[in-house]
Amino acid sequence: MKRGLLSVLIMSVLTSSIACSHPWGDTSTQVLTITVGASVTEPSPWYGEVNVPINPILQWNSITAATSYSLQVSSTSDFISPILAITFPADKYVSSNNIISYPWPGVSLDNNSSYYWRVCVNYESSLLGSYSSGWMTSLFSTKLTGGYSNVIYDGNGSSLGIAPIDAHNAYPKGSTVTVMENIGFLSFMPMSKQGYVFQGWADSPSATTATYAPGDTFIIYSDITLYAVWEEDPDYSATTATVPEETSFIDVFICSDWEETPDYNIQ
């Protein structure tokens, strides 16, 4: 049997295996599968975690066969100017439960800030040489310290009633706010606008669609004004009275006997 050339087909750098085809003649093909290491999982801080210390310990699961890890931390998602960029051996910072625990070095992070961080696993192979997994990217926010914020409700052109006032002002930064209903001040005189229907709230006075419905929640970090959103009522029709152009007629009643005085004109 004539021996053909060895061809190596790399299907995708992100797949978990690489197929190597060996043609041994015209009709037969043998496939060798080589397992490639995966990206890290179980990051801590996890994606979206808040109130993280300004000297965090960055953790992830240890990967078998990894030779090193590359770690980056940045205040922006593009990682163009990372705060931290380091590569260290895979057997360093490994805890007894097979977790990598990297202690934060140097200058502390800022409070009240968000940071992106990512980890890449590096491998060495006699067949493939040096290669890496894809980046595992996460995001966390440091502790919120001091300061309070308020929610202001604005009638945004209402013709009657009073905008509600949030009795929970001032909120500590990072608190959860529950959006109020159109209940007016102390549940007295809900707002209304002639010819319109209340739809909800938005953070722009020119909004035509409500972005916050009563009962919605959000995290507050700074003062915010929520404006009422009004939509035209298709069932509304204004009734107008027709008054003669030259003469106005007023019926005058005498309270003593409630008799109507006839033909009292104002010229």
Q: Would you say residue 252 has pLDDT above 50?
A: no
User: In whole angstroms, what is the distance from residue 62 CA to residue 93 CA?
Assistant: 10
Higher pLDDT, 130 or 154: 154
Q: What pLDDT sits at residue 33? A: 38
Q: Which amino acid is at 52?
A: V
Q: What pLDDT sits at residue 185? A: 66
Kindly give, in sequence order, each residue whose CB lies less than 8 Å from that of residue 115, ignoring residues fewer than 6 positions away: 73, 74, 75, 83, 109, 139, 140, 141, 142
Element (H, E) at 124: strand 114-125
pTM of the full predicted structure? 0.45
Q: Name, of 3-12, 150-159, 165-174, the range with top average pLDDT.
A: 150-159
Distances (CA, A) of 95 to 60, 72, 99, 106: 11, 20, 5, 21
Query: Where would I find the H helices in the chain?
Result: none
Q: What pLDDT sits at residue 106? A: 77
Q: Would you say residue 144 has pLDDT above 80?
A: no
Nearest CA-CA partner of 98 in 51, 42, 144: 42
Contact predicate 164/180, CB 8 Å: yes
Share of the chain above pLDDT 90, in %: 34
pLDDT tens per residue across span 203-241? 999 999 999 999 999 888 788 999 999 999 988 876 544
Give CA torsion, residues 101, 93, 88, 11, to 10 deg.
Answer: -70
**Considering the chain, what is the average pLDDT of its residues?**
76
pLDDT tens per residue across span 169-184? 888 877 889 999 998 7
The fold of the 49-142 domain, in CATH, is Immunoglobulin-like (2.60.40)
Nearest CA-CA partner of 194 in 236, 144, 136, 165: 236
Q: What pLDDT sits at residue 15? A: 36
Start and end residues for every CATH 2.60.40.10 domain found in the chain: 49-142
3-state secondary structure of 134: coil
Pick the CATH number of 148-232 from 1.20.120, 3.30.2320, 3.40.50, 2.60.40: 2.60.40
Q: Name, of 88-92, 186-190, 236-240, 251-255, the range with top average pLDDT.
A: 88-92
Q: What pLDDT sits at residue 239? A: 54
Give CA torsion, residues 80, 83, 85, 89, to 10 deg.
Answer: -160
pLDDT average, residue stretch 24-52: 63
Q: Which amino acid is at 72?
A: Q
pLDDT tens per residue across span 90-138? 999 998 788 999 999 878 888 878 899 999 999 887 776 787 878 888 8
Q: What pLDDT sits at residue 113? A: 85
Higher pLDDT, 253 or 167: 167
DSSP-assigned letters across all residues of 174-225: TEEEEPPPS--BTTBS--B-TTEEEEEEESSTT-SS-SB-TT-EEEESS-EE
Contact predicate 87/68, CB 8 Å: yes
Q: Which amino acid is at 26?
A: D
Task: Match 């507050």 to its residue by tokens.
Answer: 220
pLDDT average, residue stretch 66-80: 92
Q: What pLDDT sits at residue 247? A: 43
**pLDDT interval class at 186 (50, 70, 90):** low
Q: What pLDDT sits at residue 36? A: 52
Q: What pLDDT sits at residue 162? A: 86
User: Tokens in use for 5?
Assistant: 């050339």
